[in-house]
């Protein structure tokens, strides 16, 4: 049974409402910058630990500029298909047509570091644009793989963290001004393709235009599966990926005491997961 402490981002009561900081971690993991590109990949890149992803243990991944990482080879596809059709084991915080060539776009970074005191590997897409080299709308998101070999060989945690998310599609995928067409997908798959043995999970709103971006019904930056707004957590245990039950209330359900400005930094929650 997993039992560990997780630090929440700062939360403040200002004028009677809660304001939550973005969970995106920009303090570490930025050792390598992926040069401005469209549809590029780099790898294999060392994780710094071994990860058992659906029965295949590896210590390397491929970093794909289009919002995902893969385990057995690079992926240049810019129009996201359903993850169940993937022929590559994939973890995708936001599979869409990222294009960092435009003036004003951030550049994808990746590297090793620590997260909550554990060894980790991160890919960060900081305020990146979309195809073709457009920057009128920008997305910020991140995937962190956290070594949990202290619990079992090859065990690791997956975090998707989101900041502002303004676009969902490149224009080569039918989008107009970053919207519509074949829209972004977020989740993971074991890469066997649709059929026997296929294991896939997609976040609610995947492939639904307007759903995942800010203001959407399933907006990534304002929803959660673990109690931290803008964060989604999955646990790889004995090679199988599960979504842990949350023991943390949503921000709107926190008990607020007093009428003055209240701030809490580093609020701690304890999670118990099977």
The verdict on residue 60 lying in a domain is: yes
| Residues spanned by the domain of 42 | 25-245
With tokens 């993937």, the residue in question is: 86
Q: What is the pTM of this model?
A: 0.84
pLDDT value, residue 243: 76
The verdict on residue 266 lying in a domain is: no
> For residue 131, what is the DSSP state?
T
The verdict on residue 136 lying in a domain is: yes
The verdict on residue 19 lying in a domain is: no
**Residue 139, both tokens:** 């997305």
Dist. CA 23–CA 54, nearest whole Å: 27
Per-residue pLDDT 10s for the chain (274 aa) are: 343 333 334 333 233 333 345 799 877 777 899 999 999 999 999 999 999 999 999 999 999 999 999 999 999 999 998 898 888 999 999 999 999 999 999 999 999 999 989 999 999 999 999 999 999 999 999 999 999 999 999 999 999 999 999 999 999 999 999 999 999 999 999 998 767 788 999 999 999 999 999 999 999 999 999 999 999 999 999 999 987 654 333 433 332 323 232 222 222 222 223 2
The verdict on residue 7 lying in a domain is: no
CA 31 to chain centre: 19
The verdict on residue 178 lying in a domain is: yes
Instruction: Give me the number of domains the chain comprises.
Output: 1
State the CB neighbour count (10 A cutoff) for residue 151: 17
The verdict on residue 12 lying in a domain is: no
Dist. CA 219–CA 99, nearest whole Å: 21
The verdict on residue 145 lying in a domain is: yes
């Amino acid at each position: 049974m997993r039992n560990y402490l997780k630090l929440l981002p700062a939360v403040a009561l200002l004028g009677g409402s809660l304001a939550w900081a973005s969970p995106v971690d920009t303090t570490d993991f930025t050792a390598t910058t992926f040069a401005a590109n469209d549809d590029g990949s780099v790898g294999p890149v060392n994780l710094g630990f071994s990860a058992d992803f659906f029965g295949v243990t590896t210590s390397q991944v491929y970093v794909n500029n289009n919002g995902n990482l893969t385990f057995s080879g690079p992926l240049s596809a810019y129009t996201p298909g359903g993850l169940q059709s993937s022929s590559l084991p994939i973890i995708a915080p936001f599979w869409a047509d990222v294009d960092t060539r435009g003036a004003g776009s951030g550049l994808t970074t990746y590297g090793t570091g620590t997260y909550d005191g554990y060894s980790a590997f991160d890919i960060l897409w900081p305020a990146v644009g979309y195809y073709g080299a457009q920057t009128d709308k920008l997305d910020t998101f991140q995937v962190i793989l956290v070594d949990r070999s202290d619990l079992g060989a090859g065990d690791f945690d997956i975090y998707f963290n989101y900041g502002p998310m303004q676009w969902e599609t490149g224009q080569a995928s039918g989008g107009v001004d970053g919207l519509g067409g074949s829209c972004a997908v977020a989740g993971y798959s074991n890469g066997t393709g649709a059929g026997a043995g296929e294991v896939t999970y997609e976040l609610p709103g995947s492939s639904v235009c307007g759903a995942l971006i800010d203001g959407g019904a399933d907006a990534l930056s304002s929803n959660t599966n673990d109690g931290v707004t803008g964060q989604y957590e999955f646990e790889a245990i004995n090679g199988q990926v599960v979504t842990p039950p949350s023991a943390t209330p949503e921000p709107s359900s926190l008990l607020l005491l007093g009428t003055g400005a209240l701030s809490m930094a580093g609020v701690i929650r304890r999670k118990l997961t099977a």
